[in-house]
Every structure is written in C-alpha cells, then in structure tokens.
Amino acid sequence: GAGVSQSPRYKVAKRGQDVALRCDPISGHVSLFWYQQALGQGPEFLTYFQNEAQLDKSGLPSDRFFAERPEGSVSTLKIQRTQQEDSAVYLCASSPRSDYHYEQYFGPGTRLTVT
C-alpha cells in the first residue's frame, strides 16, 4: 500500500512569509508525528497527534509553529513569519498504534529553505 507522503518536497520562502507543509499518513494510522531535521543533525520531535487530538506539542520551537489534524488523517504544519533558522527538513511519521509507537513510518520530508 501507499506510504507516508509529504508535500511539497521542496519549499523556498522569503523571510517573513507563511508556509504550510502537508503530511498524508498511511491510511488508518492513528498516530502522527512531526520532526524537524536541521542540516547535518538528527531529527528532533516537534509535535504528536493521536487521531485529531494534539497530545504533545512540547517540541514546537515557538508560537510561530502550528500543527493541526482536523479529521484525524491529513496533517498540516504551518510556520508563520518564517525566519532563517526555520530552514530544515520537516519529517512526518505515522504509526498504527496509540500506545506503543515502535513502528513509525516516515515520509520523504519537506526541505524548507528560508532566504
């Protein structure tokens, strides 16, 4: 079946613009994660959804970052007033379970470049 998809694959934004990154998880997967991966670094957790509920947003770096999953399927990560330090790859992962997430399936990521 289809894996996790993300769009766009590449996004260039001028500093101060708003961007929206989309994640389509594997159909039926309950849990969805967003991670931020700076160049040359390991991914870092941003936020977690169980169905439509955002259960953990402790990793969001500022109030400019906002994520939603209104119908418990597709999720959107929005970054307002982008800054250069927001340049990174944004990875989405989904998991079929709500308790243990040892099966996380990753999408190909969106590379965001803020100029």
Partner 1 sequence: AQTVTQSQPEMSVQEAETVTLSCTYDTSESNYYLFWYKQPPSRQMILVIRQEAYKQQNATENRFSVNFQKAAKSFSLKISDSQLGDTAMYFCAFMKGAQKLVFGQGTRLTINP
What is the distance between the alpha carbons of residues 81 and 25, in angstroms, rounded to a whole number? 26
One of 32, 88, 109, 112 touching partner 1 (CB under 8 A): 109
Distance CA 72, CA 86 (A): 26
Pick one of 42, 53, 70, 71: the residue that binds partner 1 (CB under 8 A): 42
Per CB under 8 A, 113 contacts partner 1: no
Phi, psi torsion values for 86, nearest 5 degrees? -80, -10
Q: What is the DSSP letter of 83?
A: -
Q: What are phi and psi of 49, to 5 degrees?
A: -120, 140
41 binds partner 1 (CB under 8 A): yes
Using CB under 8 A, pick the residue from 56, 81, 85, 113 that binds partner 1.
56
Binding string to partner 1 for residues 1 to 40, with x set by CB under 8 A, is what?
A: --------------------------------x-x----x
Residue 99 CA: distances (Å) to CA of 58, 82, 95, 109: 18, 34, 10, 24
- Nearer to partner 1 by C-beta: 18 or 44? 44
Query: Please, what is the minimum distance in Å from the beta carbon of residue 81 to partner 1?
Result: 26
Count each helix (H run) and each strand (E run) in the chain, helices first: 0, 11
User: Which residue ranges make up the site for partner 1 (CB under 8 A)?
Assistant: 33, 35, 40-45, 48, 56, 59, 89, 91, 93, 98-104, 106-109, 111
